[in-house]
Homo-oligomer: A and B are copies of this chain.
Amino acid sequence: MLKVPDHQVAGHRAGDGKLGPLIDDSGKFYKPIQSDGRGSKEVAFYTSVSSYTNIPSHIRRFFPIFHGTKLIEASDGSGQQPHLVLQNVFSGYLNPSIMDIKIGSRTWYPQASEEYIQKCFMKDRETSSLALGFRLSGLQIESKGSAFWKPDRKLIRKFTAEEVRLVLRQFVSSNSSADSGVDPDCTFVSTVYGGSGGILAQLLELKEWFEHQTILHFYSCSVLMVYEKESVVKEASSGAEVKLVDFAHVFEGNGVIDHNFLGGLCSLINFISEILTCSDVHTAKASLPKLL
């Protein structure tokens, strides 16, 4: 049985006769193959990535598992259409808190048409991509039980550095809400961002690879960050995971590193490092009287 994903934060959404991705109960994600060339490029990426034997396995795990392509009933009622069959990266979570972050100050690639370049160029300047080296594409934070705070996507794409800092703190707080007057408590920061399996450690692994790899350039690709608040509370383990998604604009690197992706990734890493460092300082300060 196929259904509309519960936890989609970015991209086209299925339903109301519109074309969008579907999921099944076995942990698979079905993404319609767009007919304008982007779809076939993404299929080519997933097909070829398995042939790049020089991508180490600790990097491969950042890509959703690829299960081929399949003709299935499209969500817009247009009948059987080809879909990418991928791992549903949220299937292991009950109420995942999710951030979708499009990496790079530039989302266009040199080989693109002039029209496409101008369109992206404008969007990169209108959103936070140019200033921050990335832009938020989607966000949902569990607030209470299975209720989610899911701010408007048009708003979050234009976030300033201050707003990004705030939302990255809200992401790991127990008191996250739409009310920006509430100071995020950062309760989950050390479990979700910190630690050897935390989000920062995973981003640093990616960074280390991007500093050297000259095989592929990733334009308009997103970093997904996901975790489950319930798990932190109950099991003191967040299940925090980083994934890379959206490969419709991936090109050969031709001996040059992907400096556009790497720069944006380092910018995101610095935001998260600063939050971890600040919270260390706060914890240290808070615990100081006990020590004395």
Distance of A130 from chain B, by nearest CB (Å): 6
Distance of A94 from chain B, by nearest CB (Å): 35
Check A262/B266 contact, CB under 8 A, given A105-B106, A130-B110. Answer: yes
- The answer to whether A270 touches B133 (Cβ under 8 A) is no
Distance of A292 from chain B, by nearest CB (Å): 29
Chain A, 30-89, CB within 8 A of any chain B CB: none
Q: Is A96 in contact with chain B by the CB < 8 A criterion?
A: no
Out of B212, B214, B257, B267, name the residue touching A259 (CB < 8 Å).
B267
Q: Is A183 in contact with chain B by the CB < 8 A criterion?
A: no
For A250, the chain B residues whose CB sits under 8 A away are none
Complex CA distance for A256 and B168, rounded to whole angstroms: 14
- The answer to whether A257 touches B262 (Cβ under 8 A) is no
Complex CA distance for A214 and B271, rounded to whole angstroms: 10
- The answer to whether A133 touches B267 (Cβ under 8 A) is no
Complex CA distance for A266 and B257, rounded to whole angstroms: 8
For A125, the chain B residues whose CB sits under 8 A away are 110
Check A133/B259 contact, CB under 8 A, given A214-B270, A270-B211. Answer: yes
- The answer to whether A256 touches B211 (Cβ under 8 A) is no
Which residue of chain B is the closest to A133 with respect to CB atoms?
B259
For A256, the chain B residues whose CB sits under 8 A away are 131-133, 161, 267, 270
Q: Is A235 in contact with chain B by the CB < 8 A criterion?
A: no
For A133, the chain B residues whose CB sits under 8 A away are 256-257, 259-260
Distance of A272 from chain B, by nearest CB (Å): 12
Check A270/B212 contact, CB under 8 A, given A256-B133, A260-B263. Answer: yes
For A270, the chain B residues whose CB sits under 8 A away are 211-212, 214, 256-257
For A11, the chain B residues whose CB sits under 8 A away are none
For A264-290 the 0/1 string (1 means CB < 8 A from B) is: 101101100100000000000000000
Q: Is A196 in contact with chain B by the CB < 8 A criterion?
A: no
Q: Is A255 in contact with chain B by the CB < 8 A criterion?
A: yes
Distance of A117 from chain B, by nearest CB (Å): 9
Distance of A266 from chain B, by nearest CB (Å): 6
Complex CA distance for A273 and B257, rounded to whole angstroms: 12
A interface residues with partner B (beta carbon < 8 Å): 105-106, 110, 121, 125, 130-133, 161-162, 165, 211-212, 214, 254-257, 259-260, 262-264, 266-267, 269-270, 273
Pairs across A and B, CB under 8 Å, 21 listed = A105-B106, A105-B259, A106-B106, A110-B125, A110-B130, A110-B131, A132-B259, A133-B257, A161-B255, A161-B256, A162-B255, A165-B255, A211-B269, A211-B270, A257-B266, A257-B270, A259-B263, A262-B262, A262-B266, A263-B264, A263-B266
